Amino acid sequence: MVNLEQVGVFLPQGYLFKDISFQINKGDKIGLAGKNGAGKSTLLKLIAGMDKPTDGKIHKQKDTHIGFLTQDIKIDTQQSVFDYLFYSNVTLNILRERIDSINHELVKRTDYESPSYLALLDELNEKNDLFSFMEGFQWEEKIMTVLSGLGFDAEEINKSLNSFSGGWKMRAELAKILVNQPEVILLDEPTNHLDIISIAWLESYLQRFEGAVIVISHDRLFLDNVTKRTLEISMGKLQDYPYPYSVYKIKKEEETERLEQAKKQQDKDIKHTQELIDKFRAKKNKAAFAQSLIKKLDKTERIEVEKTSLAKMKISFPLSNQPGKWVLELDQVGKKFADKTIFKDINITVGRGEKIALLGPNGVGKSTLLKRIMSTLEGEGRVEYGHNVVISYFAQDQAESLDTSKSIYDTVDAIAVGDARRDLRSILGAFLFGGEDVDKKVAVLSGGERTRLALCQLLLSPSNFLILDEPTNHLDIQSKEVLKRALLQYEGTFIVVSHDREFLDGLTNRIWDIQNQTLKILHYDVKEYLQMKMGTSSESKSQTEKNGTESPKGKNKPENKETPGVTEAPAEKLSYEETRELKRKKNSLQNNIKKYEEQIGQYESELKKLDEALVDIDYSDKQKSTNLLNQYQEMKGKLDFTMHCWEQAMEDLEEIGQN
């Protein structure tokens, strides 16, 4: 579908890359790898047609549509989320408008046997067939499915896009690309603003997608599960590996080892040749021999090896001192913003050495809970720390607290103690600050660079309780490996919020899940948690509804001796608290069902009025007719989505009734 021929991009400092040639075929699932600054995003822009190459050509088959999700999207519109997607397909818009116009004209005419009337019928059939072929009759259903998968709820889809944050705008843009099903999808860091559940949904969608996909991502598991081929940009050249990311890395390491050995031998040969040249070039009877050696040396193609030594680095968080048996107690903790309750009545004691993943969709209050734990945010209830507890906190906006007048090196030098002081440059290198970069002022760093520096600073701060809010957001795969190994070796307690499944896999021994304004403790691994959340494991779903702290396999966990107040009831009999929780869920669902039924009645009434208006509308008044059609489609979308929510709530209520 797309063919790149000898493509190169020249910048003032030289070629970013050159002589790049490869082909994108239907069904290809490609991961694009390379160091920061290698040109990955630039290559996607060339394929999308946003930029032109300095050298070479890019050939595309006729009518090849490309959807491109960039990191720096700019959406400025008062359209609702639903309308942004609904009117995003120009062809469907034209067909829909023409079909409505023909239907209106046919209603008014009475010359049923005339050639012009019959011609209109033929055109209507033709347009309907094309509309059906383009899945126009399933258009709203497709939109709702994608929006739901990416985390939008019923209330949000009718809000103006300009009222959303940049991360949610990115989700809307991704949804627009997916519903339009282009032949080629280009994704530049698509998981950056998605929560763990939406990432899993997107992964499943792309696995089923029949077109081609090229993705840049620092999420190794996402790459492994989606891609089957890896393109690597390294030192201005491109290598094509017929493997997913993890296999590519193994093959790459093997290839690098061979190159390093070949380079050592070549360096030895070059040194020997240079010694001969220096020895004979001044002698008359050996001058010709020396010149031949010089020519041979000039023609030698030097072997270059890209250094990737970070994976072998060993870094650990220093432990300040040992705390008591428990490190944190939350008593009736809650938080409200105006009239909106984020969470309430949280009662938990955290024991020494617990490794906790705080999970849940974006917007449920994960960062808010961490701020309540840190007492940087006021709210209901009591937060108490245990004996000798020393907390290090990494907030999402941690980078803003850095001293911009200091250099990178001085920033970490002011924090480091003990043996770590000897390895500061290596530690900075693990977080992508190498060579002369360490002398840069914090003031000139990008947002991502500052975040990495703040995390590096945290790693050097002695503590026995870490609280980490999205620590991996701006780290590449190798740096995340360094951080994960450090956390695995950490002898203290930590709570971490992250949407990176591979980073969390094997890292924690329990999950805190925020849902329905409360917090549950789950002894799942990340995979089981996602199965439960996405409804792919009926056993997990059933067990979760019975007991929030029971394992998916139905095995009872022993009481946590170091965490008073956190116990697990047998599956066969529900405790008073669990019975009350089921009752609360049932009441909540019944209230939602009643609300949905009222909305459905309202929307049906509005649609009936719009139907009547459409019969009598004058289609020669294009503005008025277009506005009315838009109102009709928007109202129909609301009705369909609310019906979907009502059906889901009814199913959930039925399941609770069976327990």
Higher pLDDT, 568 or 472: 472
Instruction: Give 558's DSSP letter.
Output: P
- Per-residue pLDDT for 526 more than 90? no
- Per-residue pLDDT for 569 more than 60? no
- As a dihedral over the C-alpha atoms of residue 407, residue 412, residue 415, residue 420, rounded to 10 degrees, the angle is -140
Q: State the pLDDT at residue 539.
A: 39
601/656 Cα distance (integer angstroms):
26
Q: State the pLDDT at residue 319.
A: 76
Instruction: Give 351's DSSP letter.
Output: E
Higher pLDDT, 127 or 303: 127
60, two tokens: 């595309």
Task: Give the H/E segment covering residue 513.
Answer: strand 510-515
Q: What is the CA radius of gyration of the chain?
A: 30
Task: Give the H/E segment covering residue 478.
Answer: helix 477-489
295/24 Cα distance (integer angstroms):
41
80/60 Cα distance (integer angstroms):
33
**Order of strands across the sheet with 391-394?**
391-394, 465-469, 493-497, 355-359, 510-515, 518-522
Strand partners, 359: 513
CA distances from 1 to 57, 180, 513 (A): 14, 18, 44
Among the listed residues 632, 624, 564, the one whose alpha carbon sits nearest the alpha carbon of residue 604 = 632
Task: For residue 658, name the pLDDT band (cuts at 50, 70, 90).
Answer: low
Task: Give the H/E segment covering residue 240.
Answer: strand 237-241
Mean pLDDT for 311-328 is 75
Task: For residue 183, name the pLDDT band (cuts at 50, 70, 90).
Answer: very high
Q: State the pLDDT at residue 172.
A: 93
Residue with the two structure tokens 């920033």: 411
Parallel, antiparallel, or unpaired for β 326-337 and 340-351?
antiparallel
320/315 Cα distance (integer angstroms):
16
- Taking the CA atoms of 198, 202, 205 and 207 in sequence, report the sign of the dihedral they define: negative
Contact status, residue 473 vs residue 398, Cβ threshold 8 Å:
no
Coil/strand/helix, residue 340: strand
593/585 Cα distance (integer angstroms):
12
Most confident listed range (156-170, 171-185, 412-426, 447-461): 171-185
507/335 Cα distance (integer angstroms):
28
User: For 5-19, 291-305, 559-573, 617-631, which range has the lowest pLDDT when averaged over its residues?
Assistant: 559-573
In the chain, where are the structural domains located? 249-308, 326-522, 578-657
9/652 Cα distance (integer angstroms):
55
For the chain, give the longest Cα–Cα distance: 110
Among the listed residues 50, 47, 54, the one whose alpha carbon sits nearest the alpha carbon of residue 72 = 50
Cβ-defined contacts of 617-624 (< 8 Å, 24+)? 617/104, 619/100, 619/101, 619/104, 619/105
* Residue range 71-116, pLDDT digits in tens: 878 888 889 999 999 999 999 999 999 999 998 888 888 888 889 8
- Per-residue pLDDT for 206 more than 80? yes
Task: For residue 205, name the pLDDT band (cuts at 50, 70, 90).
Answer: very high
- Taking the CA atoms of 583, 589, 592 and 596 in sequence, report the sign of the dihedral they define: negative
Mean pLDDT for 584-602 is 81
Task: Give the H/E segment covering residue 21.
Answer: strand 14-24
Residue with the two structure tokens 């609904």: 86
* Residue range 239-285, pLDDT digits in tens: 999 999 999 888 888 887 887 788 788 888 888 888 777 777 777 77
What does the mean pLDDT of the chain come to? 82
| Residue 534, CB-side half-sphere exposure with 13 Å CA sphere | 20
* Total Cβ atoms within 10 A of residue 107: 10
Parallel, antiparallel, or unpaired for β 391-394 and 355-359?
unpaired
198, two tokens: 């939406």
Q: State the pLDDT at residue 308.
A: 56
- Per-residue pLDDT for 170 more than 70? yes
Among the listed residues 648, 639, 650, the one whose alpha carbon sits nearest the alpha carbon of residue 141 = 639
Contact status, residue 316 vs residue 338, Cβ threshold 8 Å:
no
Among the listed residues 514, 525, 578, the one whose alpha carbon sits nearest the alpha carbon of residue 552 = 525
**Length of the chain, please?**
659
Contacts of 129 (CB under 8 A, 6+ apart): none
50/70 Cα distance (integer angstroms):
11
* Third-level CATH fold of 326-522: Rossmann fold (3.40.50)
